[in-house]
Structure 1
């Protein structure tokens, strides 16, 4: 069990029918992706060809911010608003797709981009799986 799972399981009220396993998986994927994208942007800044990685860096940082925010929003349930939750999870999936595509285009040259693309794909999938349960 993870700390995320422990915290969700101790929530004193009903989660309103949200699939706990998919919620936990999405929160964990969001925070993992945020860290990975931040580290990838930093690694890109250390590359000799940094000017050619401008779009990748920007996409990494945007994705990291969206993923971190999504993880935080999904961690809060008091006064839950399904419309806001759905919108932010959709935005997260879109940011992860964009970042995953961009990093994948550099994956052959930069291992950090390959790792980041994989994290983005996992987070996008976790968001899509959670969205399927939100209706």
Structure 2
């Protein structure tokens, strides 16, 4: 693994954890149906971030392609989570924004 990717990997893994936590916490909210878009994006974001991290860690040429999609999903998930006042949503939104920026920097590198 290229050591220059460590900060990107850290952002990806932090985003996975925040999204998984947010989705689980959203399922415990009183109005779960209202949280459905948030939960769906949390799950998609966690999955794409995890896959991107794995491909990046193994030095796959396909990681670069996924960085674009990962940045987009992180943006969408961050926007959705930011709409909700729950602490888990706000934490997730912040992690998604950091990950989106890290992915965009990875694309530019």
TM-score tier, shorter chain, comes to over 0.9
Which structure has the highest helix share of the two?
2
Aligned mates of 2:72, 2:39 — CA distance in 1: 17
Compare CA radii of gyration and give the structure with the larger one: 1
Per the TM alignment, residue 85 of structure 1 is displaced from its structure 2 partner at its CA by: 2.2
Structure 1, unaligned stretches of length 5 or more? Answer: 1-6, 10-19
Q: Deviations over 1:8-62 (max 9, x none)?
A: 45xxxxxxxxxx1xx1111111111001100000000000011100000000000
Stretches (4+) displaced over 6 A: none
> RMSD across aligned C-alpha pairs, in angstroms?
1.2
Q: Deviations over 1:95-132 (max 9, x none)?
A: 100100000011xx211100000000000000011111
Are 2:106 and 1:130 aligned? yes
Equivalent position of 1:38 in the other structure? 20
Aligned mates of 1:115, 1:98 — CA distance in 2: 15
Equivalent position of 2:95 in the other structure? 119
Are 2:79 and 1:97 aligned? no
TM-score (norm 2): 0.95
Q: How many residues align structurally?
A: 109
Aligned mates of 2:27, 2:53 — CA distance in 1: 26
